[in-house]
Structure formats: C-alpha cells, structure tokens
C-alpha cells in the first residue's frame, strides 16, 4: 500500500511569513495526526482528526496555527505568521480505527530565518 505522502519536503521562509504543509494519508485511514518535532526532541502532537472532525487540538497554538481536513481525506497545516521557534520537522501520520498501526510520512522540514 502507498504510504503517507507529505509535501513539500523542505521549506525556508522568513519570520512573519505564512506557510502551508500538505498531507495525504493512507487510503481508508480515518484518523490523521500532525506532529511537530523540534531538533533533539520527540514528536509532539499538534492536532488529531477523526474523518473530517477535530478530536484533539489542545496543543495547537491557535493564534498562528490552523489545520483542516476537508472531506476526511487529505489535510493541510498552516502557520501564519511564522516565528523562529516554529523551525522544526512537521510529521503527518494516519491510522485505521482501533488498529494502533500508525504510519508516518517523511515530514516537512521548516526553517524560519
């Protein structure tokens, strides 16, 4: 089966600019996650979708981050405006309900200068 697709792989922007990341999960996976991984740390959950509804966004900095999953398939994560501390790898993952089989994409490495 095809894996979780993410784009772009790399992005460099200046602070205060906006940026968007895209994720296409494994076909049929109802649950989609966005994680932020700062260099030297473990991934931190930003938001969890079940189909096209938000299950948990308690760790999402909502003043600058937003995410959507229209039609319950692919998803976009946006940052506006970006700060230097947003430099990280943004990982998307998906899972089928009750399976506890999480599959991660290759991530988008964001550098804010």
25 binds other proteins (CB under 8 A): no
Give the other-Cβ count within 10 Å of 10's Cβ.
Answer: 10
State the sign of the Cα–Cα–Cα–Cα dihedral 74, 89, 102, 45: negative
* Residue (of 9, 7, 13, 39) closest to 111 by Cα position: 13
Tell me which residue has tokens 């700062």.
38
27-66 footprint of other proteins as x/- string (CB under 8 A): ----x-x------xxxxxx--x------xx----------
Residues 63-92 that bind other proteins (CB under 8 A): 91
Tell me which residue has tokens 């900095």.
61
The residue among 25 and 43 lying less far from other proteins, judged by its C-beta, is 43
5 binds other proteins (CB under 8 A): no
> Which spans of this chain sit near other proteins (rule: CB under 8 A)?
4, 31, 33, 40-45, 48, 55-56, 91, 93, 95, 100-107, 109
């Amino acid at each position: 089966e095809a894996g979780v697709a993410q784009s772009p792989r790399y992005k460099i922007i200046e602070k205060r600019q906006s940026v968007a990341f895209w994720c296409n999960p494994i076909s049929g996976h109802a649950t989609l996650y966005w994680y932020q991984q700062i260099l030297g740390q473990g991934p931190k959950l930003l938001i969890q979708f079940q189909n096209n509804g938000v299950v948990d966004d308690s760790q999402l900095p909502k003043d600058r981050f937003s995410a959507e999953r229209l039609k319950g398939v692919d998803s976009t994560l946006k940052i506006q405006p970006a700060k230097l501390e947003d430099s990280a790898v943004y990982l998307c993952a998906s899972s089928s309900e009750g399976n506890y089989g999480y599959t991660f994409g290759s991530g988008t490495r964001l550098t804010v200068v």
